[in-house]
Amino acid sequence: MLHPIILPVVGGLLGLVIGSFLNVVVHRLPIMLESQWRRECRQFLEIAENESDAIIKPFNLAVPGSHCPECRKPLSILENIPLLSYVALGGRCSGCRARISLRYPVIETLSAVLSVMVAWQFGPTVQMLAALLLTWSLLALSMIDMDCQLLPDVITLPMLWLGLIASVLTLFVDSDASILGVVFGYLSLWLVYWLFKLLTGKEGMGYGDFKLLAMLGAWLGWASLPMIILFSSVVGAVSGLGMILFLKRDHRLPIPFGPYLAVAGWLVLMWGDELNACYLAASRLN
């Protein structure tokens, strides 16, 4: 038997390592997808590649190695230690002393904290491993959506299928609830999208949001969808209003909805029954 504190500690250390990898995914995956789309467009339009395009060096999640974006200095193993390297270097490159973005240690720390919470909540089970994978995926999707207003299919769709597979093992919900979760998750936001577009002539959200809610429905079942939509809508509205009032954000600029769906889905993953009980109790009081 493991001591109760060992598993969360191991989960936190693993979360730090995964967080470091997520930083690479968040930065490089949108660039890789844009490059792929450009190649596909050129092929479809039968446009020849420029010579400069043809000699571009390989660029993926593994190549080139980690380096300073300013002076291009490759990072050593010691400079790649999650979180500790940032603290030891004082948040600056050891070569050119350019400031390292605070986002890197923030994502690593957030990944570690969330991993500790998942390990503590589920214990040494297959559920824990599945919940960790879902947590890391939601974190990556949230950060990419905040940066680029993009929810990549290369993350969302495989995770949707994994959610369906998890339902066969009844890790969180059974297969019936999972399949209906995919259907209702996608269609609910799809209907909202088209109603909003017919009424206003504008697009209120992207298709990636439909797929993300379908993915959450696959993992958490159809019964979780109303709570996820409610939480994400309320938090999104309050957050958007706060950014407009206090940060003077232009109200015409779109606000990505994916992070709010991800946060709401993760809360339901962790404490869905408790949150539902609190909501029902509050509704009876009213």
Residue-wise pLDDT for 150-188, tens only, equals: 999 999 999 999 999 999 999 999 999 999 999 999 999
Q: Nearest to residue 145, comparing CAs of 214, 164, 153?
A: 153
Residue 1 has pLDDT above 60, yes or no: no
Instruction: Using the predicted structure, report yes or no on whether residue 259 has a pLDDT greater than 70.
Output: yes
Of all residues in the chain, the percent with pLDDT exceeding 90 is 57
Q: What is the DSSP letter of 66?
A: P
Which of 36-50, 119-133, 154-168, 206-220 is predicted with the least confidence, judged by mean pLDDT? Answer: 36-50
If you compute the radius of gyration of the chain from its CA atoms, what whole number of angstroms results? 21
> Does the pLDDT value for residue 11 go beyond 90?
yes
**Bond preceding residue 82 cis, omega within 30 of 0:** no
Closest to 213 in 3D by CA, of 254, 166, 268: 268
Q: What percent of the chain has pLDDT over 70?
A: 93
Q: What is the pLDDT of residue 246?
A: 74
Is residue 54's pLDDT more than 60?
no
Tokens of 253: 């600029």
Contacts of 114 (CB under 8 A, 6+ apart): 15, 135, 139, 266
pLDDT band for 56, please (50, 70, 90 cuts). Answer: low
The per-residue pLDDT for 55 is: 47
Residue found by looking up tokens 């050129």 in the block: 42
Give the start-to-end residue ranges of the domains of the chain. Answer: 1-124, 125-286
Least confident of 34-43, 96-105, 275-284: 275-284
* Rounded-to-integer distance, Cα 178 and Cα 216, Å: 9
More confident residue, 250 or 275: 275
Q: Which amino acid is at 32?
A: M
- Tell me what the mean pLDDT of segment 247-267 comes to: 86
Give the pLDDT of residue 66: 86
Closest CA relative to residue 103, chosen from 74, 141, 143? 143
Is residue 247 classed exposed, middle or buried when 0-12, 13-18 and 19+ CB atoms within 10 A define those classes?
Answer: exposed
CA distances from 284 to 51, 216, 227, 265, 272 (A): 69, 28, 17, 24, 18
Query: What are the two backbone dihedrals, phi and then psi, of residue 259, each rounded to the nearest 5 degrees?
Result: -60, -35
Q: Give the DSSP letter of residue 74.
A: B
Q: Tell me the DSSP string of 9-63.
A: HHHHHHHHHHHHHHHHHHHHHHHHHHHHHHHHHHHHHTPPPPHHHHTPPP-SSSS
Tokens of 183: 């259907």
Please check the confidence at residue 34 and state whether its pLDDT lies above 50. Answer: yes
User: Looking at residues 137-144, what average pLDDT do you find?
Assistant: 97
How far is Cα 165 from Cα 171, in angstroms, rounded to an integer?
Answer: 9
Q: Cβ(24)–Cβ(17) under 8 Å? A: no
Q: Which whole-number Å values give the CA distances from 22 to 14, 28, 111, 240, 276, in the listed order?
A: 12, 10, 9, 26, 31
Q: Summarize pLDDT for 58-71 with one digit per residue, the tens.
A: 788 888 888 888 88
- Reported as half-sphere exposure (CB side, CA atoms, 13 A), residue 175 has a value of 3
